[in-house]
Amino acid sequence: MCRSRNTLSDTLVDEVSGNIIDQCVAQGVPFAREYGGLLDNRSFGGTQVQRTFYAAGQTGQQLLLGAYSALSRQIGVGHVKMYHRHEMLDLVKVDGKARGIIARNLVTGEIERHSAHAVIIASGGYGNVYFLSTNAMGSNVTAAWKTHKRGALFANPCFVQIHPTCIPVHGTNQSKLTLMSESLRNSGRIWVPKKKEDAEAIRAGKMKPTQIAEDDRDYFLERRYPAFGNLVPRDVASRAAKERCDAGYGIEANNTNEGVYLDFSSEIYSKGKQAAFGQGDHAPSDEKILELGKKWIEEKYGNLFQMYEKITDENPYETPMKIYPAVHYTMGGVWVDYNLQSTIPGCFVAGEANFSDHGANRLGASALMQGLADGYFVLPYTVSNYLADEIRTGKISTDSAEFDEAEKNVRDQINTFLNNNGTKSVDSFHKRLGLIMWNKVGMGRSEQGLKEAIAEIEALRTEFRKDVFVPGSADELNPELEKAIRVADLIELGQLMAQDGLQRNESCGGHFREEYQDAEGETLRDDENFKIVSAWEYKGDDIRQEELHKEALNYEFIKIAARNYK
Amino acid sequence: MASKFINITLKIWRQKNGTTKGALETYGLNNVSTDSSFLEMLDQLNEQLINERKNPVAFDHDCREGICGSCSLYINGRAHGPDRGVTTCQLHMRTFKDGETIYVEPWRSRAFPVIKDLVVDRSAFDRIQQAGGFVSVNTSGRTIDANATPIPKADADKAFEAAACIGCGACVASCKNGSAMLFVGAKVSQYALLPQGKVEAQQRVLNMVRQMDEEGFGNCTNTGACEVECPKGISIENIARMNREYLKAIVTEE
């Protein structure tokens, strides 16, 4: 977790991670158990020991459902009022403090004013700036970006995690990318053909991966990183896959040839043999080994294998999976202090929407841990502490000049879109933004590429404002209008990400500047100049004018060192 | 993945809002990649409609990988379409033939009123969950050690299978009675199977069933259609378990 606040990462890992598991189990989250009844463990990316608790291949989903059930209980008893199908479109500040929001009822289109003594933003990350990502389609940066525009600093926007195990792109109508759980790297070995002609034959459909002899396979992670092998951190695994594909060894027959194999045959064999021995058969036939091995795989990853087969129409029990990196998580976000309060008093930001814990590179199984830690164990104390000084503040009226101004701001934006009468769909702009971001602010970045990206995004924004077409009206369910508002913010954010990447003259974690690498292609950090958080202040419509503030990072508990996964 | 391209005809339910009448409308769509998901095909249709300056089709979707439970389309007379064990977003166009006519409707159930086109309001499920689908524990950070209560692996596994429910509502849409008992059965079972949920199991099942009835869902007559269409393969054993829990609760209720 380089470039993160040491004390905060430390708190997350040492002090509350155990509490989170206890809390979730108490809520009824069905974590996997050993036969003895205790919690089961497994390993994950960036680690060499088995220390991760899990619920099959859908731990995150189960933690989410656990939180949903706990929230449902609070709604049921009347402690929380839920507004379904609503979107926050502006933050309202009164006397410098966050005092409410403007929201749009997505069903009726009504613009609503909500006042409060404090506002908490927990709106997730901004991976959809790349158009294609593993994020849900509804994920966006709007709540966080509006907060930024109202004065909250936005930190480390260029730190993006590109996850190595996603299903490759199938074509131009692709709308999102599917993550195959990282847990698969426990059992799968990643490879491409050693010979370029084999890769070409595979792409042309003239050869199958199972026909390539063991000696003709390049297990490039095991070759480059023998100590961690297939379990190197996500950024390292992703770049290594890109390096092989850029060199012409990619195996996917899409227009970029981007794809590598994730092969389970070794694991199937070894687990099958273990299972046979366990049954007392010390001379099992190959047939029996394969049968038992596949059964073991099915028990561990059955749902993922099924999901893969549904998407690709290939059976991963028989042929290796095809995978390629995709945008998965954004480490940057709204700058917050140790109480998760942004630079706007009374505006707190939790989970992926803030920048706080992961630095330049998030390790496996920590996104939900952070979200739950922020929500369950940090905010209840820090928000209460803030509210203690507000104990004599009465109900805040929504009938004020500040609410008037914010509401007008929202209405103006909506009307501009609906009356724009342009010629191109919102998605067409979003896809173009995504391509610029993926090619120039993606896995490999350079000074020249970033400068080009900034200029291209600026031009795209001008064209978007002039030529986007948003059908329908403001007073109905209008998904195109929702998307237009979000894409407007993503375009501005994209430009800031490129600017942030341009100022950070080093390679660290998910930020790989091609100018800063060693002879073996590993990252070169610059601890003297960039042991900082870059926090940007909004300075009006021209994103180039954003002002950079630097927060120095101090490490008390760990020694700064280059990571070595070899 | 060698893509093929097909041409299709779509008959799609269009309805302006919850108070107006809807109707099926016909659209032609060409050059649909067989590797596209069903929702990507709808994106392609919407792009075409926008370019013709017509109103695009509204449909619910979010994660597009089968875990959020928001995509909810009734395709050719089946919840989530012709494939087994998938949500609509995981249904791929290779399931359809070139030249085929495909019917797309919203979930059909009185308890899920249409909001617009293919979008329905499934907040009835939320209200059932709010009535009892939880363990009453506060987030104090002072719960007991998760390993202090050993859970037999078989129970943990069964609870997990029930917990795989994503609340999409395909069970309701597929049931001739519009019953939500597979959904409620899954939630009741998940908690009833685990020691931490057993404590309030009796009250939970009574509250959730009461809310389910109030929302206007029908009863179960064991046709099993829900299990067939459930994208997560939730077993109707969970309905049986809920019935046992309910009977136990009702005869021992104070």
**What is the span of the domain harbouring residue B226?**
123-139+147-252
Residues B173 and B102 in one domain: no
The pLDDT value given to residue A256: 77
Taking CA atoms, B58 is separated from A107, A476, B27, in Å, by 11, 11, 15
> What does the domain layout of chain A look like in residue ranges?
6-160+328-388, 163-324, 401-552
Contacts of B61 in chain A (CB under 8 A): 137
Which residue in the set B129, B143, B153 is minimally distant from A33, CB to CB?
A: B153
Structure ipTM over 0.90, yes or no: yes
pLDDT in tens, B70-95: 999 999 999 999 988 899 999 999 99
Chain A residues lying within 8 Å of B134, measured CB to CB:
27-28, 69-70, 72-73, 76
Closest CA in chain A for residue B117: A477
The answer to whether B70 and B62 are in contact (CB under 8 A) is yes
**A208 vs A233, residue with greater confidence:** A208
pLDDT, average across residues B121-135: 97
Q: Which of A70, A134, A477 sits opposite B116 (nearest CB)?
A: A477
Do residues B134 and B102 both lie within one domain?
no
Contact at CB, B63 and A137, closer than 8 angstroms: yes
How do B23-33 and B5-14 pair as beta strands?
A: antiparallel
Q: Residue A560 — pLDDT band, cuts 50, 70, 90?
A: low
Q: Are residues B97 and B190 in the same domain?
A: no
Which residues on chain B are in Cβ contact (under 8 Å) with A171?
A: 3, 33, 35-36
SS3 A398: coil
CB contact under 8 A, B143 and A138: no
Q: Could A175 and B40 be called an inter-chain contact, meaning their C-beta atoms sit closer than 8 Å? A: yes
- Per residue in A166-200, is it b (16+ CB within 10 Å) or e — as a string? bbbbbeebbbbbbbbbbbbbbbbbbbbbbeeebbb
CATH number for the region A163-324 comes to 3.90.700.10
Contact A56 B160 (CB under 8 A): yes
Of A20, A27, A426, which to mutate for an interface test with B (greatest number of B Cβ within 10 Å)?
A27
pLDDT of residue A555 exceeding 70: no
Region B220-244 average pLDDT:
96
Do residue B131 and residue B233 come from a single domain?
Answer: yes
Pick from A8-12, A159-163, A355-359, A383-387: least confident? A8-12
> Which residues on neighbouring strands pair with residue A104, listed in sequence order?
A87, A111
Please list, residue by residue across A428-465, b when 16 or more beta carbons sit within 10 angstroms of its beta carbon and e when fewer do: bbbebbbebbbebbbbbbbeebbeebbebbbebbeebe
* pLDDT at res. A93: 98
- Judge residue B91's burial from the number of C-beta atoms within 10 Å of its C-beta, 0-12 exposed, 13-18 middle, 19 or more buried: buried
Distance, in Å, from the CA atom of A494 to the CA atom of A500, rounded to the nearest integer, reads 10
Please give the pLDDT value at position A180: 85
Burial class from Cβ neighbours inside 10 Å (0-12, 13-18, 19+) for residue A485 reads buried
Q: How many CA atoms lie within 13 A of A179 on its CB side?
A: 23
CA distances from B51 to A131, A479, B28, B32 (A): 20, 16, 14, 17
Closest A-chain CA to B161? A30
Q: Please report residues of B whose CB lies closer than 8 A to that of A174.
A: 36, 40
C-alpha A432/C-alpha A513 separation (Å) is 22
Share of chain B above pLDDT 90, in %: 91
Together in a domain, B19 and B103: yes
pLDDT attached to residue B130:
98
B24 lies in the same domain as B111: yes
| Out of B43, B151, B196, closest to residue A37 by CB | B151
A1 pLDDT higher than 60: no
Q: Are A125 and A352 in contact (CB under 8 A)?
A: yes
Q: How far is B45 from chain A (nearest CA, A)?
A: 11
Q: Does A34 touch chain B (CB under 8 A)?
A: yes
Beta-carbon contacts of residue A525 (< 8 Å; ≥ 6 apart): A2, A506, A507, A508, A516, A562
Q: Say yes or no: B169 and B106 in one domain.
A: no
Q: How far apart are CA A510 and CA A163, in angstroms?
A: 10
Which CATH code, of 3.50.50.60, 3.40.50.300, 3.40.430.10, 1.10.3720.10, is assigned to A6-160+328-388?
3.50.50.60
The model's confidence at residue A45, banded by pLDDT at 50, 70 and 90, is: low
CB contact under 8 A, A26 and B40: no
CATH of the domain at B98: 3.10.20.30
Q: What is the DSSP string of A487-519?
A: HHHHHHHHHHHHHHHHH--S-BTTB-BTTSB-T
When scoring B134, B194, B211, B230 by the number of chain A Cβ atoms within 10 A, the one with the most, hence best to mutate, is B134
Q: Is the pLDDT of residue A14 over 80?
A: no
What pLDDT is recorded for position B1?
47
Encoded tokens for A266: 């070794």
Distance (Å) from the C-alpha of residue A87 to the closest C-alpha of chain B? 15
**CA A357-A363-A368 angle, 5° bins:** 65
Largest CA distance in chain A: 82
pLDDT tens for residues A82-113? Answer: 999 999 999 999 999 999 999 999 999 999 99
B127, B110: one domain: no
Q: What percent of chain A has pLDDT over 70?
A: 93
Question: Quick one: pLDDT at residue A11?
Answer: 61
CA distance B56 to B42: 9
Instruction: For the beta carbon of residue A247, count every other beta carbon within 10 angstroms.
Output: 11
pLDDT of residue A13: 57
CATH classification (class only), A401-552 = mainly alpha
CA dihedral B13, B16, B17, B23 (to 10 degrees): -30
Structure confidence at residue B151 (pLDDT): 94
Whole-number mean pLDDT of chain A?
Answer: 91
Which pLDDT score, from 0 to 100, does residue A505 have?
A: 97
In chain B, alpha helices (H) = 38-51, 123-132, 153-163, 170-174, 181-193, 195-198, 201-214, 225-229, 237-252
List chain A residues with CB under 8 Å of B231. none
Nearest-Cα residue of chain A relative to residue B42:
A173
Which of A82, A105, A170 is the best residue to mutate to test the B interface, defined by the most B CB atoms within 10 Å of its own CB? A170
Question: How many folded domains does chain B comprise?
Answer: 2
Q: Is the same domain home to B204 and B99?
A: no
- Are the beta carbons of B9 and B28 closer than 8 angstroms? yes
CATH of the domain at B133: 1.10.1060.10
Which of A14, A15, A19, A25 to probe by mutation at the B interface, max B CB count within 10 Å? A25
Q: How far apart are the first and last CA of chain B?
A: 62
Q: Tell me: the pLDDT tens digits for A255-309?
A: 778 899 999 999 999 999 999 999 999 999 999 999 999 999 998 888 789 889 8
Query: Tell me: the pLDDT tens digits for A149-184?
Result: 999 999 999 999 999 999 999 888 899 998 887 788
Mean pLDDT computed over A479-505: 98
Please report the pLDDT score of residue A50 as a whole number.
Answer: 59
Q: Which of A48, A10, A27, A112 has the alpha carbon at shortest distance from A566?
A: A48
Instruction: Provide the pLDDT for residue A71.
Output: 96
Q: Nearest chain A residue to B47 by CA: give it.
A: A425
Residues B153 and B233 in one domain: yes
Whether residue B207 is found in the same domain as residue B227: yes
**DSSP of B189-204, one letter per residue?**
HHHHHSHHHHTTHHHH
For the stretch B32-66, pLDDT in tens is: 999 999 999 999 999 999 999 999 999 999 999 89
| Alpha carbon distance A293, A279 (integer Å) | 13
For A428-481, the pLDDT digits (tens) are 999 999 999 999 999 999 999 999 999 999 999 999 999 999 999 999 999 999
Residues B19 and B129 in one domain: no
Give me the residue label for tokens 């933690």. A63
Predicted confidence at residue A301, as pLDDT, reads 86
What is residue B136's predicted lDDT score, i.e. its pLDDT? 95
pLDDT value, residue A367 = 81
The residue whose two tokens read 């103006």 is A412
Question: How confident is residue A404, by pLDDT bands cut at 50, 70 and 90?
Answer: very high
Confidence (pLDDT) at A324? 93
For residue range A178-199, list pLDDT tens digits in order. Answer: 888 778 888 999 999 999 999 9
- Winning range, highest mean pLDDT, from A157-166, A310-319, A526-535, B179-188: B179-188
Q: Which residues contact A140 (CB under 8 A, 6 or more apart)?
A: A123, A126, A128, A486, A489, A490
